Amino acid sequence: MSEQTRGRLSLLRAAFVIARRDFTAILFGRTFIFFLLGPLFPVVVMALAGGVGAQVQSGVAVADIGVAMEAQDVDAMLAAREEVAEQLGGGVPPMVATARLEPGESFDARAVLESGGGSLAAVVTGTPEAPVLTATEGRVRNWQGLVGMIAGFAADPGTRSYPAVSTQAVVTSGAAETSGRIKTAQGGQILLFMLIMLLASMVLSNLVEEKGNKIIEILAAAVPMDAVFLGKLFAMLGISVVGIVVWASTGFAILTAGGVTLSDYANPGVGWPMFFVLFAAYFAMGYLLLGSIFLAVGSLANTVREVQTLSMPATMAQILVFFFASLAVTDQGGWVEYSAMAFPLSSPFAMVARAATDEALWPHVLALLWQAAWVAVFIRAGASLFRRRVMKSGPQGARKSRSLVKAIGGLFRNDSATAG
């Protein structure tokens, strides 16, 4: 084994050295403070995107009024609802047959609503002559008069006398819980997208700067180019984690001081602790996937202007991927959701939404294994392109910087000897 071969570090150790170098340089740099202030602008964008999310949700979470009466009364109520909807010209919530009861059979509307699940927001029991509306307090106020009108049409179409509607309030309903989980799913997707796009683009500016001052060529003379790629990718992931911890701690402190707790929001399907764990895992997967693409794109550019030109298609494509994953919320259990879960770039966003709306954990195990496999493929392909493109201008630059190459190579050999 030659002295030059003995002096080189292994791939993983060299990648660790590169990652440590980039991590400490950025963490203790003056620009890191401005990096931490960066999310102030995406927060404004997220607030504006909430309006779009509300429109999407309106087509997802349909609030139904269930009818649990004797069979002939159920049919009369459903027919009356259609007649009222025609006369009012819309704005009447859907009415569905929840139960067709036998004479004398009882029905616990409160238990059905509080059990959660489905799209039921209220249940009408009793008879058309004496209806009982069971719903949350807000729904009771909004729908009491409407239910009375429908019951009047169903009870006696000739006289149109509207009976008094008895009410009983419940704490929550299936529709309210479904609506809350969908809001959590949309919020999780938007936050994940903003974090990945904000943080993954950092690798581009760092790479172009080092290509311009020939540091890449110097590093390539001391360590394998694949190690440079891996080191930079995981260094930026580490910096991203530090930034997220700072932002999350600040946000938690502000919300706590304002008296806001997680109990004020709908509980995700997997629960808040597991939701945070899965969110972190999907952020790491999404970041590594997009970061490897950005690093490969950066290897094709030599100037900041070229970076902006080449990264634009990747950025626009990622926005389209995000919208595709957002549609998965509107098609739960359909081909759109399964397609978004299978496509590697949209899979983290689709699975974050699923964690908010569904209780099952095994799909997340499969999804993380699937995404990890694609992370390995993307890193391998990105590193291959990175190596070919960056080393293309290596010989001339290396000859100009031979003395620096030897110095840096000596530092890496000393690091190897110290580690040994």
Residues 161 and 281 in one domain: no
Residues 181 and 163 in one domain: no
Q: What tokens appear for 283 in the block?
A: 């952020």
Q: Are strands 120-127 and 64-70 parallel, antiparallel or unpaired?
A: parallel
Residues 266 and 206 in one domain: yes
Residues 381 and 362 in one domain: yes
Instruction: Give me the CATH number covering residue 155.
Output: 3.40.190
On whether residue 124 sits in a domain, the answer given is yes
Does residue 122 contact residue 132 with C-beta atoms inside 8 Å?
Answer: no
Residue 368 — very low, low, confident or very high, per pLDDT cuts 50/70/90? very high
pLDDT greater at residue 324 or residue 221: 324
pLDDT greater at residue 414 or residue 352: 352
- Rounded Cα distance between 318 and 333, Å, is 23
**Looking at 172, 194, 210, which one is the last position of a domain?**
172
Does residue 193 contact residue 52 with C-beta atoms inside 8 Å?
Answer: no
**At a CB cut-off of 8 Å and minimum separation 6, what does 62 contact?**
93, 94, 119, 175
The boundaries of the domain holding residue 413 are 3-37+176-419
On whether residue 303 sits in a domain, the answer given is yes
- Rounded Cα distance between 246 and 39, Å, is 11
Residues 184 and 94 in one domain: no
**Looking at 148, 172, 196, which one is the last position of a domain?**
172
On whether residue 47 sits in a domain, the answer given is no
Mean pLDDT taken over the chain:
77
Q: What tokens appear for 50 in the block?
A: 């909430």
**pLDDT value at 94 more than 70:** yes
Residues 165 and 221 in one domain: no
pLDDT for the residue 348: 93
**pLDDT value at 125 more than 60:** yes
Residues 267 and 381 in one domain: yes
Residues 273 and 334 in one domain: yes
Q: Tell me the mean pLDDT in the region 159-165.
A: 76
pLDDT for the residue 235: 86
Residues 15 and 66 in one domain: no
pLDDT for the residue 59: 47
**Helix/strand/coil (H, E, C) string of 134-200?**
EECHHHHHHHHHHHHHHHHHHHCCCCCCCCCCEEEECCCCHHHHHHHHHHHHHHHHHHHHHHHHHHH
pLDDT greater at residue 183 or residue 133: 133
On whether residue 43 sits in a domain, the answer given is no
Q: What tokens appear for 57 in the block?
A: 């949700």
Q: Which residues pair with 67 in a beta bridge?
A: 97, 124
**Helix/strand/coil (H, E, C) string of 110-138?**
HHHHHCCCCCEEEEEEEECCEEEEEECHH
Residues 285 and 138 in one domain: no
Give the single-character DSSP code of 263. Answer: G
On whether residue 55 sits in a domain, the answer given is no
Q: What are phi and psi of 86, to 5 degrees?
A: -65, -40
Residues 192 and 218 in one domain: yes
Q: Which of 376, 190, 180 is nearest to 283 (CA)?
A: 190
Residues 318 and 201 in one domain: yes
Enter the pTM of the model.
0.63
In the block, residue with structure tokens 């902006």: 308
Q: Which of 119, 261, 123 is nearest to 177 (CA)?
A: 119
pLDDT for the residue 285: 92
On whether residue 42 sits in a domain, the answer given is no
In the block, residue with structure tokens 């392109």: 385
pLDDT greater at residue 384 or residue 299: 384
pLDDT for the residue 135: 83
On whether residue 319 sits in a domain, the answer given is yes
On whether residue 46 sits in a domain, the answer given is no
Q: Over the stretch 226-235, which tens digit does the pLDDT of each residue have?
A: 787 788 888 8
**Looking at 172, 206, 233, which one is the last position of a domain?**
172
Q: What are phi and psi of 121, to 5 degrees?
A: -110, -15
Total domains in the chain come to 2
pLDDT for the residue 53: 55
Q: Over the stretch 42-61, which tens digit does the pLDDT of each residue have?
A: 665 655 555 555 555 554 44
